[in-house]
């Protein structure tokens, strides 16, 4: 984000019922099924969803107990949990095709450890992590509040709250914030589009959503009423996969930092943790968050790069955006390598990634969430490296 005296910045989010997020959820459901059966399974699952049709495809290496029938059953349960039982897309009668096949032996030999060779990265690529002081979660404010608005609407819909009566699973939000001297101070406009029952009056829908949105923002941040846009097309009855085809990995800006920071371009959902697109992006967020939480800087961007089949990162780059507190960035790059093993195996073990923890990550962002010790999800949001980082810089 640019360092200017005053500017506007916008991020968007989509709900778990958005067709692309349905696809992400189903890909991660497949991944969790394999990891539950064998924590060292290999999975690269892509999903397509459209009108009453679901297609699972990709490459796997795992136990034969994970059958196409089991995956079809788990897929229906996931669609039911999201809330789809509509004529055009229903958990009951959607056609499910499973086209998963064995992982390429050429990829497997590069990733597998053998003799003195450690486990290699599942692909080449660059991964980014980011943290800042704009919110308590150390996330950029626009994406944080865009997610929060939709999560609250979803919770109310699921709990059958009267304030959400008539709402359906597909929804999008967009939050524009005004920044003064680099800090967010208020929303200038907010967009919420949500699928709804036939006949629901749009003016009534706007009155329903206003208090939900207002309560999701800090006090006094709500935009003017004229800049609160609800279903700008005027009607949103046909939605979800019936209204638009959904594919895994098409919402990577939503999954990360809402455009406020760079990302590597690789999708997360459906990929086991040998794929550094996912695991190393989690490690980057983890390290950047700990840098900011340790008080070493107010903003931190971290980049790591890998080559397929190579166990060590090719580069580690840190940018503190001029906000470092007497911290040499070159020393910090070296320190981060010392406090965490950044090999694919080291990341998996440090963050405990070989567990069925991924379906819950598929909507409302992979970052800025609460670590759940009970389920083991979101370990990359912990700040347990703070003491080591402080000690390294004499704090």
Q: Are residues 253 and 387 in the same domain?
A: yes
* 86 shares its domain with 160: no
Residue 1 located in a structural domain: no
34 and 164 fall within a common domain:
no
**Separation between Cα atoms, residue 104 and residue 127, nearest integer Å:** 23
Residue 120 belongs to a domain: no
Residue 18 marked as a ligand binder: yes
What is the tally of structural domains in the chain? Answer: 3
271 is annotated as contributing to ligand binding:
yes
Residues 229 and 259 both lie in one domain: no
Does the residue 118 lie in any domain? Answer: no
Please state the three-class secondary structure of 115-176 as a single string: CCECCCECCCEEEEEEEECCCCCCCCHHHHHHHHHHHHHHHHHHCCCHHHCCEEEEEEEEEE
In this predicted structure, what is the pLDDT of residue 106?
56
Label the pairing between strands 95-102 and 299-306. unpaired
d(CA 381, CA 369): 7
Structural domain span for residue 234: 6-13+141-240
Residues (pLDDT < 50) of the chain are 114, 116
HSE of 361, CA atoms in CB hemisphere, 13 A: 33
Helix axes 276-293, 344-351, angle to 10 degrees: 60
Of 240, 273, 288, the last residue of a domain is 240
Helices 141-158, 202-216: inter-axial angle, 10-degree rounding: 120
> Nearest-CA neighbor of 335 among 268, 395, 267?
395
What is the structure's pLDDT at 267? 95
Q: Are residues 267 and 198 in the same domain?
A: no
Is 275 annotated as contributing to ligand binding?
yes
CA angle 139, 45, 111 (to 5 degrees): 85
Residues 164 and 190 in one domain: yes
Q: How confident is the model at residue 110, as a pLDDT?
A: 52
Residue 122: strand pairing partners = none
Is residue 114, in this structure, part of any structural domain at all? no
Supply the Cα-derived Rg of the chain in whole angstroms: 21
Task: Write down the pLDDT at residue 104.
Answer: 61
250 assigned to a ligand binding site? yes
257 in the same domain as 152: no
Q: Structure tokens of 274?
A: 């040998």
Contact 210, 37 (CB under 8 A): no
289 annotated binding-site participant: no
Q: Is 28 known as a binding-site position?
A: no
Query: pTM above the 0.85 mark?
Result: yes
Do 266 and 288 share a domain, yes or no?
Answer: yes
Is 390 marked within a binding site? no
Residue carrying the six token digits 């704090």? 395
| Residue 46, marked binder | yes
Q: Do 229 and 172 have their domain in common?
A: yes
Q: Among 187, 215, 240, which residue terminates a domain? A: 240
Which two structure tokens, joined as six digits, stand for 156?
């109310």
In this prediction, residue 159 carries a pLDDT of: 93
List the Cα angle 340/363/274 in 5-degree steps: 35
Tell me what pLDDT residue 62 has. Answer: 95
């Amino acid at each position: 984000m640019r360092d200017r005296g005053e500017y506007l910045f916008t991020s968007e989010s989509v709900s778990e019922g958005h067709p692309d997020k349905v696809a992400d959820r189903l890909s991660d459901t497949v991944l969790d099924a394999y990891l539950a059966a064998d924590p060292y399974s290999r999975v690269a699952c892509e999903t397509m969803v459209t009108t009453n049709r679901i297609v699972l495809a990709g490459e796997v290496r795992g136990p034969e107990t994970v059958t196409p029938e089991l995956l079809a059953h788990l897929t229906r349960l996931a669609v039911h949990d999201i809330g789809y039982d509509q004529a055009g897309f229903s958990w009951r009668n959607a056609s499910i095709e499973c086209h998963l096949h064995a992982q390429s032996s050429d990829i497997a030999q590069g990733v597998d450890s053998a003799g003195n060779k450690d486990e290699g990265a599942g692909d080449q690529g660059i991964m980014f992590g980011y943290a800042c002081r704009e919110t308590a979660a150390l996330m950029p404010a626009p994406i944080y509040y865009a997610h929060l608005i939709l999560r609250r609407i979803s919770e109310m819909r699921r709990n059958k709250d009267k304030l959400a009566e008539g709402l359906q699973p597909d929804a999008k939000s967009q939050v524009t914030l005004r920044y003064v001297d680099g800090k967010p101070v208020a929303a200038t406009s907010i967009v919420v589009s949500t699928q709804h029952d036939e006949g629901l009056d749009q003016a009534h829908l706007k009155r329903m959503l206003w208090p939900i949105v207002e309560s999701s923002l800090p006090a006094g941040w709500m935009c003017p009423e004229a800049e609160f846009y609800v279903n700008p097309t005027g009607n949103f009855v046909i939605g979800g996969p019936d209204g638009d085809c959904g594919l895994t990995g098409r919402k990577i800006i939503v999954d990360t930092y809402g455009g406020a920071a760079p990302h590597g371009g690789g999708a997360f959902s459906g990929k086991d943790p040998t794929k550094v697109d996912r695991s190393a992006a989690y490690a980057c967020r983890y390290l950047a968050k700990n840098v900011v939480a340790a008080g070493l800087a107010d903003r931190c961007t971290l980049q790591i790069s890998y080559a397929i089949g190579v166990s060590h990162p090719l580069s580690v780059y840190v940018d503190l955006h001029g906000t470092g507190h007497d911290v040499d960035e070159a020393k910090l790059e070296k320190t981060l390598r010392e406090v965490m093993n950044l090999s694919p195996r080291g990341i998996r073990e440090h963050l405990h990634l070989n567990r069925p923890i991924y379906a819950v990550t598929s909507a409302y962002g992979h970052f800025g969430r609460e670590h759940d010790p009970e389920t083991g999800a979101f370990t990359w949001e912990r700040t347990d490296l703070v003491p080591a980082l402080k000690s390294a810089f004499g704090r």
